[in-house]
Structures are given as C-alpha cells and as structure tokens.
Amino acid sequence: MSANRSQVLVALGISHNSAPVELREAVNVSERELPSALEKLAAVQGIQEAVLLSTCNRTELYCAVEASHANDDIDAQLTSYLVALHGIPISSLAGHLYCYHDGAAAAHLMNVTSGLDSLVLGEYQILAQVKTAYAAAKAASTTGALLNTLFQNALATAKRVRTETEIGRGSFSIGSAAVELARQIFGETLEGRNVLILGAGKMSDLTARHLQAQGAATIFVANRTYQRAVELAGHLGSVASARHFEDLPALLTSSDIVICSTAAPHPVVTRSLLEASLKARRNRPLFLIDIAVPRDVEPSAAELDNVYLFNIDDLKQVVEKSRAERAKEVDKAKIIIDRAIDDFLIWWRSLEVAPLIVAVRRRIQALGAEEAAKLRAKLPNIGDREAGAVTAAMEALSNRIAHSATMAIKECAGISSEEAAQRLDAIRTAFGVEPDEIDQEGGK
C-alpha cells in the first residue's frame, strides 16, 4: 500500500491441482522432517516468518518476507529451497508451482483451510492439517505477528464455513472416497470382503470406520507400531483385528481389498512381495487403494495380472458427484472467506499506516508547541497562569487536529492500495512530514 510496507506475504506451493502424485510425493515433508525443513526455510535470505504445510495433496510455503528482499527473486529462492531440500532437478517443478503474493496469498490460505481447494470439496481434514502445520511453526519459533494473525484468522474462518454452510455435509473425505471406490468395484456393499488397512493414523482410522459402515466382513489393521494397530482395531469392535507388520505377506494373500495410508518414506508393498502373494491367491483379484503420499505401493505393481492399483489421484472421479452436490454451498462459503480476507488486509494495512500516524501527530504537536512558544515570547509580561492557559489551548487544538488526521489515515486501511497510497501521500505532504521521518518513527 505504501512505501513503508516492511513485509510482503508470499505463498508458493504445489498441489493436486497442479501436479501428479509422483511429483507431490517428491516434495512431501514428513512430520519427522518438518522441524529441520522449517529451520532451513527460515534461513532463506529475507524470510522473517515461515509456515510449511505438507499433506498428501499439497506442499506449500507461507512466508513473511522483508520488503527489501521481496523482489522477483524471492519466488526463485523458494523454488531453489524446495529443490535443495529434496534433491530433485529444478526442471521437474517447471509448470507445476504456483506463487501468490500479499492479498492473493492470504486468500489462497483461507480457501485451502476452508476446504475449497481440496480434492474433496469441503473435506474437513485439511483444517486439522493446517492447524498442525501452524503449531509446528510456532514451536520452531518461525512465526511472528503477520503469520500468527493470518493463520489464526484462517482457522477461525474455516470453522465458520463448516458451521454456517453445508459444504462439509456428510463428512466426505479422502478416506471415504477410497471406500466408495472399493464399493463401486465390489458392488453396493462390502459384505463378505476381507479388508487390510496398512497404517493406523487419522486417515486409516477414518477409512476403517467407513469400511465398517459398508459391512466389511473382516478388517485387518497392520502398523509398524503394533500397539497403535491394537488401539485402532479396538475402536472398531469385533469386526477388526490387529496384525503385526511382519505378517504382511500372509495378509496380502487373505485380503480382497488393501487400503494403504502409512507415513513410510518409501513403498512398503513392493512388486516382488505382491508377486509372491499372487501365487498363493491362485489368481484371485486383489484391489489396492493407495492414498498415501509418498505412495505405499510400488507403481509397477499395477502391471501384474489380477492386481488393480489405484492411487490418490484416481479418486478424482469418485469425488465428482460429491463435489457437484456441495458446489452450491461454495458461494455461501466465499462470502464468509471474502469478509475474512478483507478484515485481515485492513488489519495489515493498519500496521502500515501506524508509522505515519505517529509522525503526523508528533509533527502537529511540535507545531503547536512552537506557536505557543512564539506567543509567549510576544507577551513577556503575562503571568505563569496565563502562559499555562496558552499552552493548554494550543495542546487542545493540536490534539483535535491530530485526531482528525489520525481518522483520515486509518480510513486508508479500508480502501484499495492505489487510492490509499494517494491519500496518504496527500496527508503526509499537507503536514510537512518527510518520508525519512516516517521510517524513523516506524514503530518497530
């Protein structure tokens, strides 16, 4: 808005809208890697605040950048950060990254957190994922006033969207979409089918509950940490049982459907493992739905006979019906989001005009004190009481003028940047405030 802006907001990322799963998994940041990744991101020149959001469908960087460094190179610097972090060729990201600045960056986060940018329109898991990413950044001390306010507003807005619209009706999610795909493959219900859940995290928990509702005969839960598998199976009742991860070969032989959602950094269901299980299955088909990023199933497994492999990108067709039903709620959600964006930008602009308010008030007060001194010099014979009255009158007048000026400056926080800049320059000129005075009074 003005020459005194100290920070620029930047959002750079990759998502299911811009890249296939094989590229998303290449830049995915696990929960274990997040602290180190945040430390490296905060060390990029010019970055003063940073949050890193990485889910199965997106990896995004949100940064408050020092204005003097916020030139065209900042996008390239953030791209280079991703390349260095993951050791991938920069050419692989060409045409897949998106970057937003200032208001557009704030709007993107609001839409993401509210589920409007999700594969499953209105899905609610993204709210928890954004909250987790923000908490991790706070724990790493990489946030400040700008990102704290932005993320707190985004989380509050997402909750309003969920409670005041029906965009999240039915709690449809990636997990439920995976189950819907399995139901389409096997018929209206999953009765009589044995299902293996690999992983015992939140996604696995939600998926298992949907499977249970569809009548799966048996649900096996396998996880690297056996106790977590026991806990998840216990929540599901008698239909579920926990299994050790080492039992995977036998489980692949006895299961009809395998839904994979581990946090492993590499495939846990390999082609060779499947080849061995297929012999024991005697050509019975095996359906694998891999909703993990990075992927849990080796992609070449799809080449095997009687193996039907689907990944998270294959769920797009499944969710289209749900998207169409929820789309009519988007306009209601956007009204809430647009107001939240406006409120955030007004708050941000108010920070930008604060230094000018300080400089103008001090200028007015200085002029008032100067005129009071001149008047007392012209009337050397007046007493202390009269001199005090002159000073008090000048201070009162100065305060009234300063109040009007302050209100005029604050009004600029609620209008477009170009018009605001013109008004602020006019006010600054009218009161004889030089640009370097504003910088000095920056209130930092």
Residues with active-site annotation: 56
Q: Which two tokens stand for residue 260?
A: 């994979």
Sequence letter at residue 85: L
Alpha carbons within 13 A on the beta-carbon side of 256:
16
Q: Which of 42, 54, 56, 66 is nearest to 13 (CA)?
A: 54
Pairing of strands 240-244, 218-223: parallel
Helices 34-42 and 125-139, axial angle in degrees (round to 10): 60
Place of tokens 């940490």: 225
Burial 213-227 (b: 16+ CB within 10 A, else e): ebebebbbbbbbebe
Instruction: Write the secondary structure of 311-362 as one string of H (helix), E (strand) and C (coil).
Output: EHHHHHHHHHHHHHHHHCCHHHHHHHHHHHHHHHHHHHHHHHHHHHHHHHHH
Show Cβ contacts of residue 211 under 8 Å, excluding neighbours closer than 6 positions: 179, 182, 190, 195, 197, 219, 259
Q: Is the dihedral of CA 272, 277, 282, 285 positive or negative?
A: negative
Furthest CA-CA distance within the chain: 116
Q: Which of 32, 21, 56, 15 is nearest to 206 (CA)?
A: 56
Residue 230 to residue 187: CA distance in whole angstroms: 29
Are 62 and 50 contacting, i.e. CB atoms less than 8 angstroms apart? yes
Alpha carbons within 13 A on the beta-carbon side of 432:
6
